[in-house]
Structure 1
Amino acid sequence: MDVSSEMIHSLLPVFLATGLGASMLAIGLIEGAAEATALIVKVFSGAWSDWLGRRKPLAVLGYGLGAVAKPLFALATTSGMVLGARLIDRVGKGLRGAPRDALVADLVLPEQRGAAYGLRQSLDTVGAFTGPLLAIGLMLLWANDFHAIFWVAVIPAALSVALLAFGVQEPDAPPGAKRVNPIRRENLRRLAAPYWWVVGIGALFTLARFSEAFLVLRAQQGGLPIAWAPLVLIAMNVVYALGAYPFGRLADTMSHRKLLAAGLAVLIAADVALALADHGPLLWAGIVLWGLHMALTQGLLAAMVADTSPAPLRGTAFGMFNLASGIAMLVASALAGLLWDRLGGASTFVAGAVTSALALAVLAWKAPAAANGS
């Protein structure tokens, strides 16, 4: 599914800006609304999977909806149609996200969670750079025919649904396990202060890290040819894929707070580089550092959610975490687009660096021990 999605998403900002004449604010709102939709839907799918006591059916439904949405991009002729396709696609992502993340925790020992989430993120990211690679090849082969490439993306999406439906086995529920109503007050109280600290810091991280669409637009602003625009996400995701598993294993053996702080420091460096340059080595250094930040933090935050939530409520816990992050993503991407329109591309990344520094200051406060990982 990542191959399919990233074939489209790596080209979508350029398609909107050059093919459909969308403003940077419109692109920011589309990206923010799409990603926020996915993250917000996760809160409902997570709670639903807890109530069902099963994860796979919702995951299959989510991947299926994502596959159905793919042809809509190929048919899109206006920004509104793109927005509609993005929202349907992201609803599918939201439906599958929290049940899938909870399923990972169900399948591994607690002391292996950092490595497990790092590995899952790394394998996800292989698709995230394979998709843009295919997009570049097809753009060069087919003379920048966006719609034809969007049609090709339908194929791997359909294959992913078939693989999940027929190739993945969900473990049986423990003997004597009972259904849990996750939204009952007494159950929600079981999500204690360490968990809510993770939710808060995760939202702040997302506020500092707006949509990667702005990395693509920054490179294009510096003269990167349209056909090569996906190279931005390829570079970022190669670093992300290579680093996610090693840093996930590291998270099983050292302080979570120190790793989060390192991730924020790397994000600040990335924002500074991208603010200073829209082409050349400094631009690409910023893109590489952005991927390194993702490798340091994304699997780690998932492991922290799993560590601070009880097993019967783990789907709900991931859902609530992603609800907070979804709201932050919408705000961050909209503000990033507005700043770009009003003050230029560099201002977007300056604002990101300032927000990251604020998050680093918040992280310097002593976190609850269970969330701190030390």
Structure 2
Amino acid sequence: MYLSTVRSADTARPAGRAKHAVPATVLGLGVVSLITDMSAEMVTAVLPMYLVYGLGVGYLQLGAIDGLYTGATALLRLAGGWFADRLGRPKAVALVGYGLSAATKLAFPAAGSSLGAIGLVIGADRAGKGIRTAPRDAMITLATPDGGLGRAFGVHRAMDTAGALLGPIVAFGLLTVLVGDYPAVFGVSFCLAVIAVIVLAVFVRAPAGTVERSRVRLRAGFALLRQPGLRGTCLAAALLGVCTVGDMFLFVGVQQSAGLPSAALPLLPLATALAFMALASPIGRLADRVGRWKVFLGGHVVLLAAYVVLAASASGWPVAAVVLTAHGVFYACTDGVLMAHASPLVPESLRATGLALVQTGQTLARAAGAVVFGALAAETAVRPAFAIFAVVLLVSVLAGTRVK
């Protein structure tokens, strides 16, 4: 039975039920994302520790790698979104992206200790993510009534984050049982990624109305930016993205600022993932009620508070807990909420392309922010860099309040 069997079209349900039920297509895509994130986080959980303490990578190099990790998805998000609209087959385009990311899991053992090779593998993995993200999010919006988009994205992101939470646990369990057998971790990660591709191909049905080929021109997608609402959203999301420190740096900053042992670094993402998973769905429902852009900006205010804590002279596990919880709240308020805010601003025929435009601007900005933060940390130190970013983020949040 298909995971998305709901009268062939999730949007065709009675209005009363649509307000409460999460479309089965969303749940199916959530299962795919859960398995995929388990696979991805098995590999990436130990990456910051390996780069900083294993290879001796400096802050500037870490910022470049963090920027690559964030920015490698950017331009291919546009390609993935445009092809999904042009072909009318978002599921097929998403399958290509998931498949590419799955294949890279077998390339990590071959990369060894070469920074260039590691960067190439990371770039290919993130390219797969870039291709699949807009078509997947477009499927969520096309399967969900506008009034329930915040909740739908919240449920999907919660399931996605459950995988991010389980991945490091599985990886460390394998390394404990198999005594440091990293190739085994990569092998299991690959198998999980393949399972996710199979689930998407066999059990998730695209929303009705997305299988007809359309004559979507690329310039029609860029013409969407002439609309004040979408243009303002893109610009504000990009401005806030520049002020967002990459995950790798934030976890290193927590470990160093809080004075935690280096061995604790791979465990820090778990706290963020736990907070994100627990709050994504209720915050998504809140965004549907009070306004998605308000919640999106509120998430950045919480992130600002985390930067202030990291910039202060405080240490210990309580400090780490506060910052990591705030980081999870930030993701719950922003990750799916931005897409829920932007999707009603885009016609269905250009939905994947429009969402990709927003995602691309935000992603490129975050990549630039990671590089800038790395340069600041190299010139000063981690704490002053967080203080500077806190000030700039505050200004950006105030500017973001002008978006309606």
TM-score with structure 1 setting the length = 0.91
Q: Deviations over 1:269-307 (max 9, x none)?
A: 111112224542112211111111111122211111101
Q: CA deviation at 1:215?
A: 2.6
Counterpart CA distance in 2 for 1:187 and 1:29 is 29
Q: Is the 8 A contact 2:147 2:288 kept in 1?
A: yes
Structure 2 partner of 1:204: 239
Distance in structure 2 (CA, Å) of the matches to 1:171 and 1:20 = 46
Q: Distance in 1 between matches of 2:213 and 2:122?
A: 37
Task: Report the 3-state secondary structure (helix = DSSP H, G, I; strand = E; otherwise coil) of the residue aligned with 1:229.
Answer: helix
**Pair 260,118 (structure 1): closer, same or farther in 2 beyond 3 Å:** same
Corresponding residue of 2:342? 305
* Alignment-mate amino acid for residue 264 of structure 1: H
Work out whether 1:161 is the aligned partner of 2:184.
Answer: no
Whole-angstrom CA distance in 1 between matches of 2:74 and 2:296: 21
Residue 162 of structure 2 is aligned to residue 126 of structure 1: yes
Q: Distance in 2 between matches of 1:161 and 1:191?
A: 36
Q: Work out which of the residue numbers 66, 75, 82 in structure 1 matches 2:101.
A: 66
Residue 30 of structure 2 corresponds to which residue in structure 1? Answer: none
CA distance in 2, matches of 1:126, 1:352: 29
Contact conserved, 1:275 with 1:347, CA < 8 A, in 2?
A: yes
1:205 CA displacement: 2.4
* Alignment root-mean-square deviation, CA: 2.1
Assess, with a 3 A threshold, how the Cα gap between structure 1 residues 117 and 198 changes in structure 2: closer, same or farther: same
**3-state DSSP class of the match of 2:50?**
helix
* 1:261 aligned onto 2:297: yes
Whether the 8 Å contact between 1:207 and 1:355 is mirrored in structure 2 is: no
Using the alignment, how far apart are the partners of 1:196 and 1:353 within structure 2? 25
Q: Does the 8 Å CA contact 1:268/1:357 hold for their aligned counterparts?
A: yes
Q: Which residue of 2 aligns with 1:152?
A: 188
Q: Structure 1 unaligned segments of length 5 or more: list them.
A: none
Query: Bigger shift: 324-333 or 221-230?
Result: 221-230
Runs of 4+ in 1 over 6 A off after TM superposition: none
Q: Any stretches of 5+ residues in structure 2 without a counterpart?
A: 1-35
Hey, what does 2:59 align to over in structure 1?
24
**Aligned residue-pair number:** 366
Letter in 2 for 1:291: G
Match of 1:218 among 241, 244, 253: 253
Report if aligned partners of 2:310, 2:323 keep a CA contact under 8 Å in 1.
yes
Asked if 1:337 corresponds to 2:364, the answer is no
* 1:235 maps to 2:271: yes
For the residues of structure 2 that align with 1:185 and 1:297, how far apart are their CA atoms? Answer: 27
% of aligned pairs identical? Answer: 30
**Residues 284/43 of structure 1: CA separation in 2 closer, same or farther (3 Å cut):** same
- Displacement of 1:219 in angstroms is 3.8
Please name the residue that 1:182 is paired with: 217
TM-score by length of 2: 0.85
Between the aligned partners of 1:51 and 1:80, the Cα distance in structure 2 is: 35
Shift of 1:266: 0.7
In structure 2, do the counterparts of structure 1 residues 309 and 181 end up closer, same or farther at CA, with 3 Å as the change threshold?
Answer: same
1:181 and 1:187 in contact (8 A); partners too: no
- Corresponding residue for 1:37? 72
